[in-house]
Amino acid sequence: MSIFDSLHISASGLSLERLKLDTISTNIANVNTTRTEEGGPYQKKSIVFEEALKQSGQAFSVGNGQKSFGVRATEITADETELREYQPTHPDADEEGYVLLSNVNMADEMVEMMKTLRAYDANITSLEAGKDLLKQALTISAK
């Protein structure tokens, strides 16, 4: 593994965490949305991701000649759990007075946001360490 591979892995982590933060902020913004363009209430979105693998010709690669090359988002999924509440005066209430509400839980989203921010900070720290190693290598080779 070269130092550039570690920089790429950290960069892929940063991209994933940014996408997760965007998704969390969309969830928070739509916490009270009962009517969307698709019809029905807003459904909580989440990111599904996996390890990004790359073919390797190196002798130290694991498994079938592949090595880890960071992470990548595979899809954005919607939680289809329904949340109904009795609010007969609500404009979106049905004949029985029930309203389908967004299934976004604000407390869960805040916890997820804090976890994502910590992971983002960890990726920045890793990226900075890689940059410092490269700077030190250039300084040593200049002497």
Please tell me the pTM assigned to this model: 0.83
- CB-based burial of residue 70 (10 Å sphere; 0-12 exposed, 13-18 middle, 19+ buried)? buried
Assess contact for 117 and 20: CB atoms under 8 A: no
Residues of the chain with pLDDT under 70: 1, 55-65, 143
Distance from the Cα of residue 121 to its chain's centroid: 14
Contact 8, 130 (CB under 8 A): no
Cα separation, 51 vs 73, in Å, equals 9
* Rounded CA separation 86/102 (Å): 14
- The pLDDT value given to residue 59: 45
The DSSP secondary structure of 104-135, one letter per residue, reads: --HHHHHHHHHHHHHHHHHHHHHHHHHHHHHH
Distance CA 50, CA 70 (A): 9
In single-letter form, the type of residue at position 31 comes to: V
Identity of the residue numbered 81: T
How far is Cα 2 from Cα 12, in angstroms, rounded to an integer?
16
